[in-house]
Amino acid sequence: MMNLDFNLIKDLNSLQKRLFQENKPEFILANESLNIVKGHPNYLEVFKNYNLKKFLSLFLKYSIINFYYLFSSLFFYKSKRINIKKNINFLVVSHFFSSNKTSHINNRDFYFDEFEKNMNFKKKNNFKILINHSKKFRNGLYKKDKIILQKYTSFRHSIYILINLYFLFMKYFLTSLIKNKRESYLLKIISIEFINPGTFKNLIIKKNLEDIIFGLNIKKVFFTFEGFPWERFLCQIIKKNCENSKIFGYQFAILFKYQNSIFLNIPKIYLPNIILTSGIMNYKILKKKFFDISIIGSSRFSKNKKKNLNKKNCLILPEGMDSECEILSDFAIKCAHEIPHINFIIRFHPLTDLNKINEYLIKKINYKKLNNIKLSRKDLSYDLKRSSICLHRGSTSAITAMQSGVMPIYLNFHKNLNIDPMFQISRKSRYIENVEDLKNFISKSPIDKLRILKKIKKSSKNYFTKFNHQELTKLVKE
């Protein structure tokens, strides 16, 4: 087993640089094990407890899924070119999550809501592409002003992708046999991750973006910028096809202590021209690496408010990953059992597969006969108003909670890998490792709690700033 530490990320970055020079860049960028978004247990899990049995199991699992996708493309791929106006002022590339077929299509965009409220932005000839993270619309959805990307490319192109991926799998698996122990270990994992269905899907997104964008005249492009493979491909496609376009990467989320892929040294063709960021803290970090950055702010900004820290509700804020949902849900159940006078409200991320996690959670709640734990279906502002504490790990909603006067408590589960979005702020009194630690915080006097919260809130204004519509109007008119 390899320690999940920063040295692992550094070694992977060195390998990424070498492999990038040895191969077609698109296949290296598509392999997420070579482009770790951030030091997080979920992203690094693939490097844990690796052995021959796991290797063979993954080879079989990945291959079955890949060939299922290959043959499904014969039935679900739509080859017909869609009718889009050739001249587009603004192309927005965002995300579709919901299992509800209409919710994200017709309602507000979680990422670009403030952009779309701006009159100068709204009155332009705009078009939107949504990356599909849901189980719906596998053959896409096409409307006059937006598209949900389909999950397939042509059978012929799918074969082209898979031939290249299985070639790279064999190449680096064989190379791993003649390397030293550490490099051999990493190369074996990287080789199997070339045939990970996620790598295949990243290259399908690339091809589908090419098919849509080719031949269009686009003035400005706005997309969410975190360092994922599809973002690199989008920038490359735009720069090749629309030389005069300006590309704006909206860096909307908080940068973590071990943020990684966004800072990798890759050719400029894979990067935006200008980065728009959500707050002062991110601006200071990004300025060390990038030249053209502007603070645009965020819809997640919340004014500091006075709170009643004696409210008996604790809001649980997991990230969208199954593993993180399970960690915080299990901990919440323990807390609900041992602290019966507090209500624990679990609020899942839009990425969460609710059917899967609800079944897992409800069984445990019913087994323990708990009445003080519930799942929230309200909006975030409502949950924050009724809570005095929020329990979190990597969720950036904890910052919105802090700005709203709710005390953020970080569950320090993986002690060697900090995923606290507020890692720059003092840990004192807000880091817990077990139920007893939470009990100790809850038992503090109102004066002590308020003193702790005031210290933390001083830094909160530097994370998400109020959305700057004047700055957006200036960018739109340039």
Sorted by where each begins, the domain ranges of the chain are 6-76+155-201, 87-151+214-295, 313-460
pLDDT higher at 412 or 4: 412
Report, as an integer, the average pLDDT of 176-199: 95
Instruction: Look at residue 428 and tell me whether its pLDDT is greater than 50.
Output: yes
| Percent of the residues in the chain that have a pLDDT greater than 90, as a whole number | 60
- Count of other CB atoms within 10 angstroms of residue 451: 12
- Give CA–CA dist 114/475, Å, rounded: 14
Of the listed ranges 209-218, 282-291, 373-382, the one predicted with least confidence? 373-382
Of the listed ranges 260-274, 305-319, 352-366, the one predicted with least confidence? 352-366
Could you tell me the CATH superfamily of domain 313-460?
Glycogen Phosphorylase B; (3.40.50.2000)
Q: Helix 155-176 crosses helix 52-76 at what angle (to 10 degrees)?
A: 170
pLDDT higher at 413 or 16: 16
pLDDT in tens, 88-114: 999 999 999 865 444 445 667 889 999
Residue 416: per-residue pLDDT: 66
Instruction: Look at residue 342 and tell me whether its pLDDT is greater than 70.
Output: yes
Q: How many whole angstroms from its chain centre is CA 153?
A: 24
Residue 3: per-residue pLDDT: 45
Residue 101: per-residue pLDDT: 42
Residue 50: per-residue pLDDT: 80
Instruction: Look at residue 393 and tell me whether its pLDDT is greater than 70.
Output: yes
Indicate the burial class of 389 (C-beta count within 10 angstroms; 0-12, 13-18, 19 or more).
buried
pLDDT, the chain, mean: 89
pLDDT higher at 251 or 351: 251
Residue 107: per-residue pLDDT: 66
| Percent of the residues in the chain that have a pLDDT greater than 70, as a whole number | 93
Residue 306: per-residue pLDDT: 59
pTM (2 d.p.): 0.90
pLDDT in tens, 18-31: 999 999 999 999 99
- Give CA–CA dist 37/341, Å, rounded: 39
- Give CA–CA dist 390/407, Å, rounded: 6
Report, as an integer, the average pLDDT of 346-350: 85
Report, as an integer, the average pLDDT of 121-135: 89
